[in-house]
Amino acid sequence: MQGWLDALSRRLGLRFARRALAHAEAETRAAQDRLREAVDLLPEGIVILDPEGRYVLWNKRYAEIYHRSADLFAPGVKFTDTLRVGVARGDYPEAVGREEEWLAERFHKLMNPTGERHEQRISDGRWLMIEEKRTADGGVIGLRVDITAMKTQAEALADALHRVEAASRAKTEFLADMSHELRTPLNGVMGLVQALGATKLTKAQQGLVADILRSAGELDDLVGGLLDYGDAARAADASPPAPTHHVAAEAPVLRVLAADDNPTNRKVVELMLGAAGAEVISVENGQEAVEAWRRGAFDVVLMDLRMPVMDGLDAIRAIRRAEGPGLPRAPIIVISANTSPDDLAASADAGADRHIGKPLRAEELFQAITGVIAA
């Protein structure tokens, strides 16, 4: 009787055990299904690998992202095996021509994840952001995000910025051209009127000269306001103006080399400095200026910037290179209609000692010459 009861008890226990096991398996399957459903609902691609780099779990989005290789995904299959097939199919443009090296680098990065994000380009033109981290059991969980739209937007933004920069450069060049074209004749008018004012005139004539200079000054201010240049060059020279006789007294045989492609502007410089007793040698471009400087000793060089054949900046650089170590440094003053901060910086970088703007004023010129000679 006891044996029968023991057998019955064992059978009942086995039945309960089987029922409990079936229940546990059902709960496990339900949990797995819930996990699978939750993972499949994620908008990002998710893949989980075991410590040996074999597939454990992946979601629908991951399979969609790598649709050309999705038929190879299976639990227990090595990630590197599917990756190798993808490389052979040409799915990864960066691997072309260096397949084995690329596979080794990718596998090393996979098995030594740092969590650092990196980008991957797919052969169909899409871009992916990849992030991989180590799991508690030594496996790897990977995240894939399609960033193609973001890359496209970034490229569009970069293109837009490039166009803005190009437009800004065009604006700067336009302003520089306008400054040169407007201030060059204005420089001639003001310079010649100043020279006329230094001659013997009647009181009425002196009044007319003053009116012309005042009107020319107003026009210069208007041009400066329109071109948004201001008086950057003149602001740099804030010391009191030097009188004409001061230069003549210090250097009665002052030799000046003046380079300007505009004949009226050359005439203005010759009249201003000639009144102070200086000897002025005028040339029409930067190349002639360099050649003249090599031939004769000059106390100061006056250099326009915008000239044919060779511009003023290149001419200044050529002179500085030719001076060499141990030779005296030629004082060089830039006289230009372009007086923006960039123009001032360019003159200084080329090796100029001063930069004054047009329209040229006699007191500014004498002040600048006195300053560079005394330096």
Helix (H) or strand (E) holding 5: helix 2-41
Q: Is the pLDDT of residue 165 over 90?
A: no
Residues 30-39: pLDDT tens digits?
A: 766 777 777 7
pLDDT of residue 248: 44
Per-residue pLDDT tens digits for 88-115: 999 999 999 999 999 999 989 888 888 8
Q: What pLDDT is stored for residue 241 in this prediction?
A: 38
Query: Quick one: average pLDDT of 171-196?
Result: 72
Of 227-231, 258-262, 362-366, least confident by mean pLDDT is: 227-231
Q: Could you tell me which residue, 232 or 310, shows the higher pLDDT?
A: 310
Q: Is the pLDDT of residue 234 over 70?
A: no
| Band of pLDDT at residue 243, cut at 50, 70 and 90 | very low
For 10-48, write each residue's pLDDT tens digit.
Answer: 665 666 667 766 766 777 777 667 777 777 788 899 999
Out of 123-127, 186-190, 278-282, 339-343, least confident range: 186-190
CA-derived radius of gyration, the chain: 41
Q: Which of 109-118, 211-220, 243-252, 327-336 has the lowest mean pLDDT?
A: 243-252
Question: Comparing 76 with 243, which gets the higher pLDDT?
Answer: 76
Q: Give 3-state DSSP helix, strand, coil % of the chain, rounded to 5.
A: 60, 15, 25
Residue 183's identity, in one-letter code, is R
Higher pLDDT, 325 or 158: 158
- Average pLDDT of the residues of the chain: 82
Q: What DSSP string runs through 293-347?
A: HHHS--SEEEE-SS-SSS-HHHHHHHHHHHH-TTSPPPPEEEEES--SHHHHHHH
